[in-house]
């Protein structure tokens, strides 16, 4: 483990390098599930199984086959959201006007590029997507992305004192409150998408975390009630060891690193916004499971709780963010966040500044994603620096 000052300087250099890469590439990159952007999509007939095959071949290829399939680097709403978030953290830390300007540019891009068929602000993916649950149309707004971007707009309002960004956040809140919900005796689950009920834990609690912040800020009791019911749903379904399945349907019964990190970060945001202590035991159990099962001794982040590979940059980024977030009250979490950051910078960052997509054990997949790696690592490293001794960045 590096000395704290040395590690801090390493993190700063890494952060500036990845931002430089994103700016040089004009906020364009790939995403893991963008295979259906290929002209070969027409051959799928928009049927779920062929779409999934094309998508999975691109996602799982041990090298970047996208250029050979006609897939060009593209923009991403969630990528822009994470970059804005990172810039806001950096601006708060050092007051650099350049970071403020870049954050505003990203936020204005998001306002201009919301989901086209919605009257409220919400965002989806710029490609057709097929899952075990069926087809999701291009641009269909998603709870997880909209809630995360919503947090960015709330941060922007607090940091930049600009009411425009609060108005956008309120619009996001109206969209989330209007989503379908699975209603049960032990809480309600916000739907992942608007066109049918899809109950997924990480999107549910991220939606709740955003509504908790917005509801507290605006004294909106409907937002607060929906948030509490959503948190109740997911916490009531936490496993005895502190873990969560991705979702409750048997086909979703896996336990992975970054979705667990999402759950914990969302619970922390909810707790801080509402002061509601109801889920403190759930947070404590979940954080302990997370620290005990998802990391190797050198800081290497595992993908699943019971096996390491593939090592995925999203697991690294969310781990750094989640653990650093708990670092103020739990020094062990901060130490682990620093170890994960050091390992990731040493093993997953290219000389040109971008972070690799995956390490398969026998080969590194160096595909330059935008959100999945560059955006998430920008925010994660900025959050980590905030928890460490201040240093100019």
Taking 70 as the threshold, does the pLDDT of residue 368 lie above it?
yes
Taking 70 as the threshold, does the pLDDT of residue 215 lie above it?
yes
pLDDT, tens only, 307-323: 999 999 999 999 999 99
Are 361 and 312 part of one and the same domain? yes
Are 319 and 366 part of one and the same domain? yes
Please state, in angstroms and rounded to a whole number, the distance separating the CA atoms of residues 96 and 104: 13
20-34, 121-135, 169-183: least confidently modelled range: 121-135
Mean pLDDT, range 241-248, rounded to an integer: 98
234 HSE (CA, 13 A, CB side)? 37
Place of tokens 């889920």: 279
Q: Given this model, what pLDDT does residue 365 score?
A: 98
Contact of 221 with 205, CB cutoff 8 Å: no
Rounded to the nearest 10 degrees, how much is the dihedral formed by the CA atoms of 306, 51, 200, 271? 80
Looking at residue 66, the DSSP 8-state letter turns out to be G
Taking 60 as the threshold, does the pLDDT of residue 135 lie above it?
yes
Band the pLDDT of 393: cuts 50, 70, 90: very low
H helix intervals, 46-121: 48-60, 77-94, 97-112
Band the pLDDT of 389: cuts 50, 70, 90: low
3-class DSSP state for residue 263? helix
Are 23 and 7 part of one and the same domain? yes
Q: Of residues 389 and 379, which shows the higher confidence score? A: 379
Q: Rounded to the nearest 5°, which phi and psi values hold at 256?
A: -125, 170
Domain membership flag for residue 125: no
Are 349 and 391 part of one and the same domain? yes
pLDDT, tens only, 287-311: 999 999 999 999 999 999 999 999 9
Taking 50 as the threshold, does the pLDDT of residue 391 lie above it?
no
Contact of 40 with 54, CB cutoff 8 Å: yes
- Report the chain's terminal Cα–Cα distance, integer Å: 22
Among 18, 49, 73, which residue terminates a domain? 73
Counting Cβ atoms within 10 Å, is residue 362 exposed (0-12), middle (13-18) or buried (19+)?
exposed
List, as one string, the DSSP characters of 17-64.
HHHHHHHHTTT-BB-TTGGGGSGGGGGGTT-HHHHHHHHHHHHH-SS-
* pTM of the predicted protein model: 0.96
Taking 80 as the threshold, does the pLDDT of residue 366 lie above it?
yes
Are 42 and 25 part of one and the same domain? no
In the structure encoding, which two tokens stand for residue 159, read together? 């940091």
Domain membership flag for residue 280: no
Please state, in angstroms and rounded to a whole number, the distance separating the CA atoms of residues 210 and 267: 10
Domain membership flag for residue 261: no
Counting Cβ atoms within 10 Å, is residue 24 exposed (0-12), middle (13-18) or buried (19+)?
exposed
- Domain encompassing residue 51: 35-73
Starting at the earlier edge strand, list the strands of the sheet with 311-312.
311-312, 358-359, 364-365
Band the pLDDT of 79: cuts 50, 70, 90: very high
3-class DSSP state for residue 290? helix
Q: Given this model, what pLDDT does residue 392 score?
A: 43
Nearest to 257 by CA among 348, 319, 322, 334: 319
Are 3 and 66 part of one and the same domain? no
Please state, in angstroms and rounded to a whole number, the distance separating the CA atoms of residues 89 and 289: 28
Band the pLDDT of 202: cuts 50, 70, 90: very high
Domain count, the chain: 2
The fraction of the chain above a pLDDT of 70, given in percent, is 98
Domain membership flag for residue 344: yes
Q: Rounded to the nearest 5°, which phi and psi values hold at 239?
A: -70, 160
Band the pLDDT of 3: cuts 50, 70, 90: confident
Taking 90 as the threshold, does the pLDDT of residue 134 lie above it?
no
Mean pLDDT, range 142-153, rounded to an integer: 98
Mean pLDDT, range 185-209, rounded to an integer: 97
Are 47 and 17 part of one and the same domain? no
């Amino acid at each position: 483990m590096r000395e704290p000052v040395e590690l801090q300087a390493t993190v700063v250099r890494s952060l500036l390098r990845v931002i430089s890469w994103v700016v040089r590439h004009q906020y364009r990159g790939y995403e893991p599930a963008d295979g259906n952007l290929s002209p070969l999509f027409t051959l799928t007939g928009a049927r779920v199984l062929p779409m999934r095959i094309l998508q999975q071949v691109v996602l799982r290829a041990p090298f970047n086959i996208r250029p050979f399939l006609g897939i060009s680097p593209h923009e991403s709403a969630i990528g822009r959201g994470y970059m804005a978030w990172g810039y806001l953290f950096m601006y708060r830390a050092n007051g650099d006007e350049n970071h403020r300007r870049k954050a505003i540019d990203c936020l204005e891009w998001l306002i201009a590029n919301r989901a086209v068929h919605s009257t409220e602000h919400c965002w989806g993916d710029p490609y057709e997507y097929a899952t075990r649950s069926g087809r999701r149309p291009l641009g269909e707004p998603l709870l997880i992305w909209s809630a995360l971007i919503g947090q960015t707009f709330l941060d922007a309002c607090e940091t930049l004192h600009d009411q425009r960004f609060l108005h956008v956040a309120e619009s996001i809140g109206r969209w989330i409150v209007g989503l379908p919900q699975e209603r049960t005796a032990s809480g309600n689950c916000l739907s992942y998408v608007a066109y049918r009920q899809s109950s997924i834990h990480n999107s549910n609690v991220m939606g709740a975390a955003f509504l908790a912040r917005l509801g507290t800020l605006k004294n909106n009791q409907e937002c607060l009630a929906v948030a509490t019911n959503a948190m109740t749903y997911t916490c009531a379904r936490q496993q005895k060891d502190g873990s969560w399945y991705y979702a409750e349907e048997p086909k979703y019964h896996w336990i992975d690193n970054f979705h667990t990190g999402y759950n914990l970060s969302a619970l922390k945001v909810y707790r801080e916004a509402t002061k509601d202590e109801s889920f403190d035991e759930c947070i404590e159990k979940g954080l302990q499971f997370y620290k005990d099962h998802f990391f190797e001794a050198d800081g290497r982040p595992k993908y699943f709780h019971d096996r390491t590979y593939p090592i995925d940059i999203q697991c690294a980024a969310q781990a750094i963010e989640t653990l650093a977030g708990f670092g103020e009250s739990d020094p062990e979490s901060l130490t682990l966040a620093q170890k994960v950051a050091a390992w990731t910078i040493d093993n997953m960052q290219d000389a040109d500044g971008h972070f690799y997509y995956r390490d398969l054990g026998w080969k590194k997949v160096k595909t330059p994603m935008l959100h999945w790696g560059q955006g998430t690592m920008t925010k994660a490293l900025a959050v980590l620096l905030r928890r460490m001794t201040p240093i100019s960045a």
